[in-house]
Chain A
């Protein structure tokens, strides 16, 4: 029984990591209605920045982390300025397709700049797990889970209670209307990309702490996709619940159902949950229901 509880806790914490990566999807979507297919690539870009500042520049870990977050913010800002700012007012489809192009481009840039070698990633969180009697909780995931909850609470407050956050929500509704109301559409979208890139870098630190880094780590972007769609693309708070449900379901399926069916169910379960909820509620569990006047 203790193993089952342990698997549930670990699964919930992995789900919270997915939720953190999915938060990058959501902040960009909430400000621009753009679904960023390059979210996983933002994670590896952040990961490589952390690796570069710690191992190549040899900076003190905390200085390297601070500099990495600043550089990620700059990268997010530049991505918006170079690729998306000219598309304001154009169809959402065009902007989404740009993110698909961005996925391929970022992967190429990472390969070009850093090469394909598997590299050690700095140990940012303690390697020794927390032991609670017979239970074992990985420290990186535990701290990561706390960071995810704090980030979700903070961002929910920002989007729902602050003027800047509400402006970003208005931008997501309609670029032209928001612009005519005197809201800086460019500024809002740029800020969303900065936030998305910073969240991705934090996600990379939790995901990769003490492990290895290659461009294949971008797969976590797709692992976070069911969490984002399950929660509803506008709901930051909903990501916590969605992350925990998806993580726990995946963990239980991997540990207890995979051996019975010969594997693979653990990787499929998050997508089955996602498809199930989208069939019943296309906007996701906590997504906005749009009321249209006829």
Chain B
């Protein structure tokens, strides 16, 4: 077997190129990869909003990998796990997630994740970052689960505080609560506000606390009681189906009690389920996160960047905003950890330490969240708590208030 001079020269060139390639610090070899687990609910009670929430947080990680991550030499891989919003499912999946991904952080969804993992994550030394408001039962020191927003009860108390100021006068504001026992989180939302109202009768008078099913059969009679009680607002932070049933109950009574929703059951989702946003004219959504209104704000501009350059298909609404804000919250903390420790050898523990080390500024989250300063005392920032209020006016979502103060809600 003979080899031509030409072939030999080619072989030598190829071998030389390979040797050179292995000696050069190629970008791909420089990149350090870490995994992030995303807990999702594509077939449970939040299956209706999950695709757009998931799209928001995933595209933020894609954006971060292409921009900040590329500069730092770090790529974040992510994988969604279906939990059906069920604590038992989360608990059973967790050992597999841990061994498969060895994640440096978990991006959670809601109460069942908190209930299932609050005792395990400190042992595993992996922090979890949420998008939702926090829960009273998770309000403990030295947590490994962190919410960028205060508790739902803080958010509703902040809304009522704002509404009372808007109304004027000295008397307490009359409020009714509609909740469900289908999830500990729903009960918690009601209990916290009940406690606050009990301790501040001069501010809030709770006229009704009604528990119902996640898909109520009929709320006409209950809404009649709410209307008769002279309620200034009805707080529903559970799900869209309850908002729809309550609205129908109010309409059947010819009553016009404004409903306050949270981000996950907010105005766009509830309006769609009712057959039109105009049916929610004068109703509110309130939460410690940017309102996805029509105005040209920094959050809206960042959403546009994700849509134009990273293929985000989700519409501009509160659920997408929630996914984006969660993604930004998580990648910013990871970025702080990389800046403090270098790209190599990052662990969940270092990520958690970075959360306490410096604030996450509102600029870093493109205005989606206020500046957040975490301490080990609570799973959410205890100072500078604010709530934003959106409403439907002339069939459109508008910002009613930005940065409204939240009163001092004690633990319950």
Contacts and interface: CB of A to CB of B under 8 A. Distances in A.
A118 interface: yes
Interface string B39-66: 0001101011010000000000000000
Given A118-B269, A210-B248, A136 B218 contact: no
Given A3-B225, A10-B218, A10-B221, A127 B251 contact: yes
A138 B245 CA distance: 12
Contact of B181 (A118, A140, A216, A264): A264
Interface in A80-137: 111, 115-120, 127-129, 136
Interface in A214-228: 214-217, 219-220, 223
Given A118-B241, A216-B214, 20 more contacts: A111-B43, A116-B42, A116-B43, A116-B50, A136-B221, A136-B253, A138-B221, A138-B252, A140-B218, A210-B248, A211-B245, A212-B240, A212-B244, A212-B245, A214-B47, A215-B47, A216-B215, A219-B213, A254-B211, A264-B211
Given A111-B47, A267-B181, A211 B241 contact: yes
Contacts of A141: 217-218
B273 interface: yes
23 contacts: A10-B218, A10-B221, A14-B217, A116-B43, A117-B272, A118-B269, A120-B272, A120-B274, A127-B248, A127-B252, A136-B220, A138-B221, A211-B248, A212-B240, A215-B47, A216-B45, A216-B215, A216-B241, A217-B215, A254-B211, A263-B187, A267-B181, A267-B213
CB-based closest 8 A-B pairs: A116-B47, A120-B275, A212-B273, A118-B273, A212-B244, A138-B220, A117-B48, A263-B211
Contacts of B220: 10, 129, 136, 138
A259 interface: yes
Interface string B18-42: 0000000000000000000000001
How many chain A residues sit at the interface, stated as a range, is 35 or more
B293 interface: no
Interface string B247-288: 010011100000000000000010011110000000000000
Contacts of B225: 3
A149 to B, nearest CB: 18
A220 B211 contact: no
Contacts of A6: 221
A266 interface: yes
Contacts of A111: 43, 47
Nearest to A119: B273
Contact of A17 (B217, B245, B252): B217
A216 B225 CA distance: 27
Contacts of B215: 214, 216-217, 219-220
A6 B224 CA distance: 11
Given A6-B221, A127-B248, A118 B211 contact: no
A77 to B, nearest CB: 28
B181 to A, nearest CB: 5
A261 to B, nearest CB: 11
Interface of B: 42-43, 45, 47-48, 50, 181, 187, 209, 211, 213-218, 220-221, 224-225, 240-241, 244-245, 248, 251-253, 269, 272-275
Contacts of B43: 111, 116
A173 interface: no
A16 B227 CA distance: 26
Nearest to B46: A116
B324 to A, nearest CB: 20
Contacts of A128: 252
A138 B224 CA distance: 11
Nearest to B265: A118
Nearest to A139: B252
Contacts of A263: 181, 187, 211
A207 interface: yes
B119 to A, nearest CB: 24
A217 B251 CA distance: 22
A118 B272 contact: yes
A9 to B, nearest CB: 9
B400 to A, nearest CB: 24
A258 interface: yes
A17 B213 CA distance: 15
A127 B251 CA distance: 8
A133 to B, nearest CB: 13
A111 B41 CA distance: 13
A7 interface: yes
A168 B273 CA distance: 42
A220 B217 contact: yes
A219 to B, nearest CB: 6
Contacts of B209: 259
Interface string A219-259: 11001000000000000000000000000000000100011
A141 B211 CA distance: 20
Contacts of B241: 118, 211-212, 214, 216
Contact of B244 (A10, A14, A211, A254): A211
A281 to B, nearest CB: 28
Contacts of B273: 118-120, 212
Contacts of B216: 211
